[in-house]
Amino acid sequence: MSEIATPEELRVAVLGAGSNGAIVAADLAEAGVDVTVIDQWPANVEAMRAHGIRVQLGETVRATAVPAYHLCQVAELREPFDVVFLLVKAYDTRWAAELIKPLLHENSVVVGVQNGMTGDAIAEVVGRERALAAVIEVTSAMYTPGLSERHSAHERCWFAVGALDPTAAAHVPTVAALLSHVGIVEEADDIQSAKWMKLVLNVAELVTSAVLDLSISDCARHPGMRDVMLAAGNEAIAVAQAHGYQVRPIFGMEGEAAASPETYVSAILDNLVANYIRTDSRATVLQDWMKHRRSEVSELHGEVVRLAREYGVAAPVNEKVWELGIKVEEGELIPSTVNVELMRDALRQPMLVPARAAQPSSPRREELR
């Protein structure tokens, strides 16, 4: 990637064109960026080839022509990409990075625009000097191939972008400029902490609402569920403190409540429900289950539990929600509001309540996979 290249001069790939990937690709293409889409859902690729990427926002559907390829066709491509946005599921990160690696040049960069702590997996494959991580908050859904239902307009989409290693820092402004076509972008100096703060919100909202077969908003208002959601998030905050991650506001939030460990989860959950999602917005986990697909339950709750065990931190709510999510995926449990008490049972177990503590001078650098 040339140091003087503008975003419009770059060759960009979006690997993973589900609901969010389709929005990113369409917005970049509309801004004049040279974008190529690669996806693993055959019907999705064929629909995009036939009709362009269709994005519905309100009553308006916009179609944007973008070259689209099946995974099996990546081996046929020869011209390298300057920037690759990974928008595959967290559990697909490592093989997706390997898939695209032959199409990188020395100064290319791969950006994990995903939930979960995927940055280190990307860096291990392509090198830390070519890896960035990003936090994404874009509310959307895809139930029809080639059609992304966008629930949040540009001003309600938010990204944080940062380097895991100083050798990749020069890529951050370029990637931030690209993503600014999609939403509001923050350049983060501690992207791992920002990623974990998004995971805090994810464990509060995604699987909890999916296990009840409710939208995120309806789950937050369902009797007995706010306590469960806050407890799951607070356990992840306690893990963050034990590990050395900084408790920091995301989504452009400000104020004491958004920076304090004691009030962080309630502040960010309330902000999400009030400002970022529609009342009918289903969690990505529930969308996966509706399509009979595997979700990221283990990459979210499983990661909290893994790190909690490493530090001796109690995480009973995350353990229970993880267990229930796996049972749904294995066909042993049907998503329903009758599952509330199954999650609330975990509240009766002792857990560490987050408290304000002095932040370590630097976070530990264990690899989170």
pLDDT of residue 254: 85
Rounded Cα distance, 81 and 264, in Å = 39
- pLDDT band at residue 253 under the 50/70/90 scheme: confident
Query: Taking the CB of residue 265, how many other CB atoms lie within 10 A of it?
Result: 24
- Whether the pLDDT of residue 364 is over 50: the answer is no
- Whether the pLDDT of residue 181 is over 90: the answer is yes
pLDDT of residue 47: 98
pTM of the model: 0.92
Q: What is the mean pLDDT of residues 270-288?
A: 92
- Whether the pLDDT of residue 104 is over 70: the answer is yes
- pLDDT band at residue 275 under the 50/70/90 scheme: confident
pLDDT of residue 360: 42
Percent of the chain past pLDDT 90, that is, above it, reads 87
pLDDT of residue 62: 97
131 neighbors 164 (Cβ within 8 angstroms): yes
- Residue range 8-49, pLDDT digits in tens: 789 999 999 999 999 999 999 999 999 999 999 999 999 999
- Residue range 63-72, pLDDT digits in tens: 999 999 999 9
Q: What is the mean pLDDT of residues 73-99?
A: 98
pLDDT of residue 353: 53
- Residue range 126-167, pLDDT digits in tens: 999 999 999 999 999 999 999 999 999 999 999 999 999 999
- Whether the pLDDT of residue 173 is over 50: the answer is yes
User: What's the mean per-residue pLDDT of the chain?
Assistant: 93
- Whether the pLDDT of residue 357 is over 90: the answer is no
- Residue range 289-304, pLDDT digits in tens: 999 999 999 999 999 9
- Whether the pLDDT of residue 358 is over 90: the answer is no
Tokens of 91: 């559990």
Q: What is the mean pLDDT of residues 307-328?
A: 97
pLDDT of residue 258: 86
- pLDDT band at residue 3 under the 50/70/90 scheme: low
- pLDDT band at residue 352 under the 50/70/90 scheme: low
Rounded Cα distance, 103 and 77, in Å = 8
